[in-house]
Amino acid sequence: MRRLLTATAVASVAALALAGCSNGGGSEGGGSSDDAAIITTNGNEPQNPLIPTNTNEVGGGKILDSIFAGLIYYDADGKEHNEVAKSIESDDATVWDIQLNEGWTFTNGEEVTAKSFVDAWNYGALLSNEQLSSYFFEDIEGFSWDEDSELTGLKIIDDYHFTVTLKHPASDFGQRLGYSAFYPLPSVAFEDMKAFGENPIGNGVYKLAGEDAWEHDVKIDLVTNEDYKGDREAKNGGLTIKFYANQDAAYSDLLADQLDVLDQIPDSAFGSYESDLGDRAVNQPSALFQSFTIGNYIEHFDGEEGNLRRKALSMAINRDEITDVIFQGTRTPASDFTSPVIDGWSDDLEGADVLTYNEEKAKDLWAQADEISPWEGTFQIGYNADGGHQAWVDAVCNSISNVLGIKASGDAYPTFAELREKVTNRTITTATRSGWQADYPGLYNFLGPLYATGAGSNDGDYSSEKFDSLIQEGISATDPEVANQKFQEAQEVLLQDLPAIPLWYQNVVGGYSTLVDNVEFGWNSVPLYYQITKKA
């Protein structure tokens, strides 16, 4: 799962000057017959060749999502719609029947068939191929972490029909299928996958403008795919993604109308971007969640004492003030463990008052905990100094210290790797910053991987039979409303236990130039490029 615990996943909140200069040179055109209709946007050089199952970072993902079409796609609100798929059905959330629309082709003319998906998924899942997103296939029968094996759960019925059998029920499996790991591949990809990734052939809204379309470390030029068969038909002539060394340079280009769309305003402009851009400024919630985690193995935080202290700490944090002063309104105080942009989200969960600033209650709870075992020492939150987290950590600790009358401070680690080594080995003796970025728009994606007993990202070693039971009921339910209700009930257990302290949702903070219309940012903070139009 794509966790937020990376050095670069969250923009720096400190008012730091960003070094470097723009690499965004080159013409706006990308081979389109109408260069005036080309939309320009910011991006960064992909980490790897553009292979769907080996791309798990934003730079490459933005391109893949533009040049490939999957079984489904997500609209601006995160709702799924069939795309290549004609139907995706399951009676038991274990066996999934997938039928395809006919007439889809890759841009080399090859037809998109069931085999296009099955071969791509088998490649992505095979251990020896070492694909970064292989874990997306681990629920399918035949997947192995120990040896090369075929996904025996994939069965081709005919050219436009295949089935997927899972190891256990997963009601949101169909919802996952819009993620890039599940894209199809043409047969030519398997002749030389690395070479294919340098000049990928997709079936999406856009296609590469030519063999030289990807100018490494500078930009990539995409033009409209005239053979695209789906509902997301491009309203422009193409998309040029400029790779910037820093967002300050991109913002300068935006203000000068040299860039059409920017999806990350630099923190240096947080105080001015709304007045700079007016109604072209964007600040809305996205599928990003921030918290800090306190392991049950840390002294004073197990059992009843730990429960009291967790609640006291949570209620001692003035989230409204911190998101206003430190983040200048670019974050929204959390009222749950997921994100407002996800279907099924609720701001009316029982027990959510524990996330509301309440000085008197916090002091009382802390005093109750002291009666069990008196507090000694300093409360600390570990964070990586290379990720720009000091400002908010200091603010949270100051709020805790002022309310509870204890010493509280940040504990900085030079690098993300050093912090994660301590957390992974359970040798850390403090709280640690944490968070999550959604892989697909589902509540379960924010819950199971982080808080289920023994889950891979359960850094606090939290374990609750009630929580485990509820999320299993939710993931096994075939009715989405029933599933989301179970996930909400599971969150109410988390609000009682607080294995992590929810802080805020990270907003997408962006903007667009005076030259474009119909700009809309989606649930995952990425603009819907295909619907953007150039002004006459």
pLDDT digits (tens, 9 = 90+) for 270-307: 999 999 999 999 999 899 999 999 999 999 999 999 99
Instruction: For the chain, give the mean pLDDT.
Output: 90
Determine what percent of the chain is predicted with pLDDT higher than 70: 93
Model pLDDT, residue 51:
97
Determine what percent of the chain is predicted with pLDDT higher than 90: 75
Nearest to 468 by CA among 453, 454, 484, 458: 453
Query: CA 529, CA 519: separation in Å to the nearest integer?
Result: 8
Per-residue model confidence as pLDDT tens digits over 325-347 = 989 989 999 999 999 999 899 99
* Per-residue pLDDT at 9 exceeds 50: no
Model pLDDT, residue 1:
38
Model pLDDT, residue 199:
97
Per-residue model confidence as pLDDT tens digits over 61-116 = 999 999 999 999 999 988 999 999 999 999 999 999 999 999 999 999 999 999 99
Region 166-171: mean pLDDT is 92
Range with the largest mean pLDDT of 14-23, 368-377, 448-457: 368-377
Between the alpha carbon of residue 98 and those of residues 38, 88, 95, 202, 449, the distances in Å are 35, 5, 10, 20, 26
Q: What band does 133 get if pLDDT is binned at 50, 70 and 90?
A: confident
Query: 3-state class of 262 per DSSP?
Result: strand
* Per-residue pLDDT at 415 exceeds 90: no
Model pLDDT, residue 35:
62
Region 408-415: mean pLDDT is 92
Between the alpha carbon of residue 56 and those of residues 1, 74, 88, the distances in Å are 9, 18, 25
* Per-residue pLDDT at 399 exceeds 60: yes
Upper half-sphere CA count for residue 255 (Cβ side, 13 Å): 14
Query: CA 53, CA 119: separation in Å to the nearest integer?
Result: 12
Model pLDDT, residue 25:
33
Model pLDDT, residue 245:
81
Q: What 3 state SS string does 61-91 have?
A: HHHHHHHCCCCEEECCCCCEEECCEEEEECC
Region 373-395: mean pLDDT is 90
Model pLDDT, residue 398:
98
What does the block give as tokens for 210? 């030519």
Query: CA 63, CA 74: separation in Å to the nearest integer?
Result: 16
Query: CA 355, CA 358: separation in Å to the nearest integer?
Result: 9
What does the block give as tokens for 85? 């798929």
Region 485-514: mean pLDDT is 97
* Size of the chain in residues: 536
Model pLDDT, residue 19:
27
Query: CA 184, CA 114: separation in Å to the nearest integer?
Result: 9
Model pLDDT, residue 479:
86
* Per-residue pLDDT at 18 exceeds 80: no
Q: What band does 457 get if pLDDT is binned at 50, 70 and 90?
A: confident
Helices (H) and strands (E) in the chain, counts: 14, 20
Element (H, E) at 506: strand 500-512
Query: CA 285, CA 209: separation in Å to the nearest integer?
Result: 33
Paired residues of 434 in beta bridges = 291
State CA 116 to chain mean position distance: 26
Contact 493, 466 (CB under 8 A): yes
Nearest to 99 by CA among 84, 87, 116, 91: 87
Q: What band does 436 get if pLDDT is binned at 50, 70 and 90?
A: confident
Model pLDDT, residue 6:
36
Model pLDDT, residue 14:
33
Model pLDDT, residue 24:
33
